[in-house]
Amino acid sequence: MTVHTVAPHRAARAARRRGLALGLLAWLAGLAFFLPVAWMVLTSLHSESDAATNPPSLGAGLTLDAYREFFDSAAGTGPWPALINSFTASTFSTLFVLLLALPAAYALSIRRVRKWTDVLFFFLSTKMLPAVAGLLPIYLIAKNSGMLDNIWLLVILYTSMNLPIAVWMMQSFLADIPVSIIEAAQIDGARLPSILARVVAPVAGPGLAATALICFIFSWNEMLFARVLTGVTAQTAPVFLTSFITSQGLFLAKVCAASVVISLPVLAAGFAAQDKLVQGLSLGAVK
Amino acid sequence: MSAPTTVRPDRTGPPAPAPSSRAKWRRARAWATRAPLLPALVFLIAVTQLPFVATLVISLFDWNALYPDERRFTGLSNYTSVATDPQLRDSVGTTAVLTASTVLVSLLLGLGLALLLDRAFIGRGLVRTMLIAPFLLVPVAAALLWKHALYNPEYGLFNGGLSWTADLVGIDRPPQPDWISSMPLIAVEAALVWQWTPFMMLILLAGLQSRPLEMVEAARLDGAGTWQIFRYLTLPHLRRYLELGVLLGSIYIVQNFDAVFTITSGGLGTANLPYTIYQTFYQAHEYGQASAAGVLVVIGSIVLATFALRVVSSLFRQEVSRA
């Protein structure tokens, strides 16, 4: 009798202890991965002399000097033009992506064209070819048509870069909408634009928002094209970040402050889209 | 490149109307169905496929932008020089090593983290958020962070941590390695692993959470141990997600430019193909050779992509049949 009650009790306690240990391990792993990010933020809040010590001065006083200097920037124009360029490129390319991808996804999910899966996989296959291989012709075309150092060139390229991802994601969100709702609206005489606005958008809204955020992140992060195709006037934030370093020499706090500022929009967008992030990154293959 | 046609629709287009009499109307209707698709399709082909064709053509020319008058057709000789140029050949090897090691290490770490996060514990949401954070830094910013704030031999966090621990345990002269110059490739890989592990974790976590729980419960009631459940139930279920992680990770990391450019500027044997192509074209102005290298990268990617598409399509078929 006693044996029977004690044994499960002990097993449960062992299981709980193991659960606690594994939870602790997860916490340690989380903290280890987060440490460099925390270090970056902390360093950005130190003065330059406190940032460059060995061993590190953890308890040094906090200051916003690095941020102030970054924005006042001795590097000529300061970061604002680059940040505005990045916002322009990311926002407009995301907008164009949505305008092109929404009807396409409609034709691939709600009222399907024949061989819709082939079309879908064609979109995906374009994403798998390395962009660097098309860089030279694009550079030559841009050079000959006077589009070099023009932010709208990046808008066009980023639109094409993100279009396959958006088509895939939206296709999977729209396919979740029950056909009967749409058919009912069609019987009521609603036309495509009003079906999109009144029926599709409310149901697929959150998914579309996540798609937009992911496209925004990818455009904001892009550097290879931006570096080759822009110069002084159209340079984006990542390009500014690298040139800022070379022109400033090594100022650790300022480097960290600049990295924090330029990563903030992506961090915000990423955490907002957290639940749909996997789906977007795996091109809709994982839900 | 065309895609495999393995998936059959279960919700295809309009219902077939009566035969021949309405053929014309039907054709018009088919175009109306196709119309919303066309702008996206035409735009994508124009912007992403035509440049590849141009690259293919340029790769057959001897063309250095510094000597534009000497441009001439050379057939495949750019490919021979790409194959014999030690710098380019090394970059092929570097790309393979960099991609394979980064993908494998981040996959294993990601699997471990996904298993840890698949259980309930206090603060799980917060830990998940902390783990995702590295992936949400702008890649250039992450690379700069590793180069200057962590690896710097004089006041980086790594060496700072070493001298701090040395102080604690009473060692006089702690080792202060110069991380980037003593292990350049590993330095780049570590920074990339840090950024890509969260990606793997997210995919594998999604896989774990789609696992049918009844089966695990049944196995446990039948007396299966944790390891047995992992080995015979969880791992087979995760196979597709593991493959997907490897393939998508490879596709993204093969193309990596930011980390190599920022951390080592392609020096010390870390120049991968994207960086080398960038350099051949942007700094050496060898348009023909850069294009030939580009074509080779495309061929390599097509091999990878064919596998990737197969995996995605099998997952996709699962989803479609489940719906």
**pLDDT tens readout for residues B261-300:** 888 887 788 888 888 888 888 887 888 888 888 888 888 7
CA A36 to each of CA A45, A267, B142, B198, B199: distance values in angstroms, whole numbers, following the listed order: 14, 15, 9, 14, 17
Write down the pLDDT at residue B6. 45
Distance CA A228, CA A139 (A): 8
* C-alpha distances out from residue B208 to A172, B201, B218, Å: 20, 10, 17
Domain ranges in chain B are 85-146+183-322
pLDDT in tens, chain A (287 residues): 444 555 667 778 888 888 888 989 999 999 999 999 999 999 888 887 777 777 777 777 788 878 888 887 655 668 888 899 999 999 999 999 999 998 898 888 877 888 888 888 888 888 777 788 888 888 888 888 888 888 899 999 999 988 988 888 888 888 877 778 778 887 887 777 787 777 777 777 778 888 888 889 889 999 889 988 888 888 888 988 887 776 555 588 888 998 999 999 988 888 887 777 777 777 666 66
Q: Left (φ > 0), alpha (ψ -120 to 50) or beta: where does B75 sit? A: left
Closest alpha carbon within chain B to A137: B51
Q: What pLDDT score was predicted for residue B8?
A: 45
Cα-flanking dihedrals φ and ψ of residue B145, to 5°?
-60, -45
pLDDT band at B320 (very low <50, low <70, confident <90, very high): low
pLDDT single digits (tens) B192-231: 999 999 989 988 888 888 777 788 888 888 888 888 888 8
Contact between residue A236 and residue A86 where contact means Cβ atoms under 8 Å apart: yes
| Whole-number pLDDT of residue A250 | 57
Whole-number pLDDT of residue A159: 94
Domains of chain A from N-terminus onward: 2-69 (no CATH), 75-281 (1.10.3720.10)
Mean of all residue pLDDT scores within chain B: 82
In tens, the pLDDT along B5-45 reads 444 444 554 555 555 667 888 888 888 888 888 899 999 88
Cis bond leading into A81, ω under 30°?
Answer: no
* pLDDT score at A131: 80
B323 pLDDT band (50/70/90 cuts)? Answer: low
Distance from CA of A215 to the nearest CA of B (A): 13
Q: What is the pLDDT of residues B152-195, one digit of tens each?
A: 888 888 888 888 888 888 777 778 888 888 888 999 999 999 99
The ipTM of this complex is 0.84
C-beta neighbour count of A187 within 10 angstroms? 8
B2 vs A contacts (CB less than 8 Å): 118, 122, 125
Distance between alpha carbon A108 and the CA centroid of its chain, in Å?
A: 25
Q: What is the pLDDT of residues B288-298, one digit of tens each?
A: 888 888 888 88
Contact check, Cβ <8 Å, B290/A121: no
- Residue B192 is inside which H or E element, if any? helix B184-209
- Condensed to tens digits (0 to 9), the pLDDT of residues B42-52 reads 998 888 888 88
Q: How close does chain A come to B220, measured CA to CA in Å?
A: 14
Residues of B within 8 A of A55 (CB-CB) are: 160-161, 163-164, 167
| B36: contact with A, CB 8 A cutoff | yes
Partners of A68 in the β-ladder: none
Cβ-Cβ contacts under 8 Å for B97 (sequence gap 6 or more): B185
pLDDT at residue number A1 = 46
Q: According to the model, what pLDDT value does residue B2 have?
A: 43
Instruction: Provide the token pair at A259.
Output: 């990295």
Q: Which residue of A has its CA nearest to B207?
A: A286
CATH number for domain B85-146+183-322, candidates 3.40.50.1820, 1.25.40.10, 1.10.260.40, 1.10.3720.10: 1.10.3720.10
Compute the distance between CA of residue B112 and CA of residue B106 in angstroms, rounded to an integer. Answer: 10
Surface of A (156-185) touching B: CB under 8 A: 156-157, 159-160, 163-164, 167, 172, 175-176, 179
DSSP per-residue codes, A152-205: HHHHHHHHHHHHHHHHHHHHHHHTTS-HHHHHHHHHTT--HHHHIIIIIHHHHH
The residues facing B73 across adjacent strands are B61
Burial level of B67, CB count in 10 A (0-12/13-18/19+)? Answer: exposed
